[in-house]
Amino acid sequence: MTNNHLRLSLPELKEIISDERIVARFQSILSTRNNFIIGFEGLIRCKARDGRMIPPTVLFDAAREFGMTLELDRLCREKVLAGFSDIHRFQKNNLLFLNIETSFLSSNVVGSGYLLDQVTTVCCPNTFCKDYKEGI
């Protein structure tokens, strides 16, 4: 079955979010100039109860369809930030490349401070980039 044919129902999506069945994985980001790792991109993975892997595109397509994009995105960010905090403890100079769903940025959640709160409480309170903070 290809990703084009894989769809989640609303109950499946709600279960994934409520059971927090999102897992963070990290991919190294390399500096081609200096030939070393400068950070990590946070990626999400999800496994359905029947064992099949659910691609992130399928998760976010379902979230958009059922109006649950914000809930899924916040859970994904929380998982990535928590996972990165473990890396950051031992590798303080590495950056986190955090993917976010931008479709809700023009809605009423802008300025809520939720992302800033997630970063400063879950992950790395003393290392959040000041320029970025001012733009939130």
Instruction: Set out the domains of the chain in order of their start, with CATH numbers.
Output: 10-135 (3.20.20.450)
- By the 8 A CB rule, do 128 and 119 touch? yes
Nearest to 69 by CA among 42, 103, 25, 99: 103
Cα(111)–Cα(135) distance, rounded to whole angstroms? 9
The pLDDT tens digits for 72-110 are: 998 998 899 889 988 877 877 888 888 877 766 655 655
Q: Is the pTM of this model over 0.85?
A: no
Q: Which amino acid is at 39?
A: G
Cα(136)–Cα(62) distance, rounded to whole angstroms? 26
Measured on CA atoms in the order 80, 44, 71, 11, is the torsion positive or negative? negative
